[in-house]
C-alpha cells in the first residue's frame, strides 16, 4: 500500500541534531511534540528577480530559484493528567521544552555538572526535522525562527505558534547563490539583447507584412529578385 497522510489525527514532529558537515542526524532526537490535525502548514515559493530594461520603464521578471520554505505550527498546550486527575506534565512545563528548543538560556556547563545540551544551544540552533508533511516536501534541516505564546484567561492552557524555516548547510547555500547569480546574469543579458534588437527595429523601420508578402510573391513569379 502506498504511503498515506491522513489528516484526522496527530502528526509527530521530531527535531534532531545536525552533524558537523550539515547533514541531518535525526536519530539523535532532541525534541518531539505532537501536532494536531490542520495545525501545521508548509509554504514554498519561487524566487523572482526583476531585471530593468535599458531605455524602457518597468522591469522584466525572471525566476531564478526558490525561497526558503517556511513551516508554521500551532499548538494548544494543556496539562497532562493521569486517570486520577493529577497533573503529570503541566502546560507550562511543555512550554519550557519548546522554549529550550527555540532559545536555551541555561548555562551549558552549570555547577560542574556535565551539560545535557551542547553549547551551541546558546545561539540559534539548526535542527534536523522529521514529520510526514516535511518529509513529503523534502525538508531535512530547519532553523527555529520564531516562538509566540499567549495565555488564556482563567485557564492553564497556552497557545503556542512556532515558525521554522528551511536552512541548508553553508556550502550548499553558497552553491545555490552562485547558480541564482548565473541565472540572473543570463536573464539580464537576454533583456539587453532584446532591447537592442527592438531599438534597431525602431531605428531602421520594419517592412509592412502585406508589402513583404507581395514583394516575395512577385520575386517568386519572376524567378528571383529584379536586377
Residue 50: strand pairing partners:
61
Residue 53 has what DSSP assignment? Answer: P
Read off the pTM. Answer: 0.64
Q: 11-168: which CATH architecture?
A: Beta Barrel (2.40)
| 227 residues of the chain, pLDDT tens digit each | 456 656 566 888 999 999 888 889 988 998 888 888 778 999 999 988 877 766 666 677 778 888 889 999 999 998 988 888 898 989 999 999 889 889 877 765 544 444 455 544 567 888 999 999 999 999 999 999 999 999 988 899 999 999 999 987 655 555 556 555 555 566 556 655 555 555 544 555 555 555 566 566 656 666 655 54
Please list the alpha-helical segments (H only) found in the chain: 91-102, 132-136, 170-204, 209-221
182 phi and psi angles, rounded to 5 deg: -65, -45
Residue in the structure block whose three cell numbers are 536552512: 167
Bin 58: left if φ > 0, else alpha if -120 < ψ < 50, else beta: left
Amino acid at each position: 500500500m502506498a504511503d498515506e497522510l491522513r489528516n484526522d489525527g496527530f502528526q509527530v514532529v521530531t527535531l534532531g541534531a545536525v552533524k558537523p558537515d550539515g547533514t541531518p542526524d535525526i536519530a539523535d532526537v532532541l525534541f518531539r511534540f505532537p501536532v494536531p490535525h490542520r495545525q501545521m502548514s508548509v509554504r514554498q515559493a519561487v524566487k523572482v528577480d526583476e531585471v530593468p530594461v535599458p531605455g524602457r520603464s518597468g522591469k522584466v521578471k525572471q525566476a531564478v530559484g526558490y525561497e526558503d520554505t517556511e513551516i508554521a505550527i500551532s499548538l494548544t498546550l494543556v496539562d497532562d493528567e493521569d486517570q486520577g486527575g493529577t497533573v503529570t506534565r503541566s502546560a507550562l512545563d511543555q512550554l519550557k521544552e519548546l522554549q529550550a528548543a527555540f532559545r536555551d538560556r541555561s548555562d551549558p556547563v552549570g555547577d560542574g555538572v556535565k551539560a545535557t545540551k551542547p553549547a551551541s544551544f546558546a545561539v540559534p540552533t539548526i535542527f534536523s526535522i522529521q514529520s510526514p508533511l516535511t518529509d513529503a516536501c523534502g525538508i531535512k534541516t530547519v532553523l527555529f525562527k520564531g516562538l509566540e505564546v499567549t495565555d488564556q484567561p482563567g485557564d492553564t492552557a497556552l497557545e503556542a505558534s512556532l515558525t521554522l524555516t528551511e536552512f541548508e548547510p553553508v556550502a550548499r547555500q553558497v552553491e545555490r547563490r552562485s547558480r541564482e547569480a548565473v541565472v540572473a546574469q543570463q536573464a539580464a543579458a537576454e533583456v539587453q539583447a532584446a532591447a537592442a534588437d527592438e531599438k534597431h527595429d525602431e531605428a531602421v523601420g520594419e517592412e509592412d507584412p502585406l508589402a513583404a508578402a507581395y514583394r516575395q510573391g512577385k520575386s517568386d513569379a519572376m524567378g528571383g529578385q529584379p536586377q
